Homo-oligomer: A and B are copies of this chain.
């Protein structure tokens, strides 16, 4: 059994409207020093396989085919064995 941790980020050149929106809220609350808020996705799951190679392949497939949008997002992940 492996534990995968995936971070999916919009590319830096692409506007993040959700981040912009909460930042405007921050200004209204008096938090004036907050800049460049970007809200991305952090995804955790288990991979129920015996060897690391096939776990990594499955995580990679999951990211490419479902979790990340290849047009505007990049992903990175770690895979660690758990007992």
Task: Tell me if B42 and A41 are in contact (CB < 8 A).
Answer: yes
- The residue in chain B whose Cβ has the minimal distance to the Cβ of A57 is B31
> Shortest CB–CB separation between residue A34 and chain B, in angstroms?
6
Given contacts A47-B33, A61-B29, A65-B29, contact A40 B42 (CB under 8 A): yes
Given contacts A29-B61, A42-B41, A62-B26, contact A34 B47 (CB under 8 A): yes
**Cα separation A41 to B55 with both chains bound (whole Å):** 23
Contact digits for A33-45, partner B, Cβ 8 Å, 1 yes 0 no:
1111111111111
Chain A residues within CB distance 8 Å of chain B: 7, 9, 19, 22-23, 25-26, 29, 31, 33-49, 55, 58, 61-62, 65-67
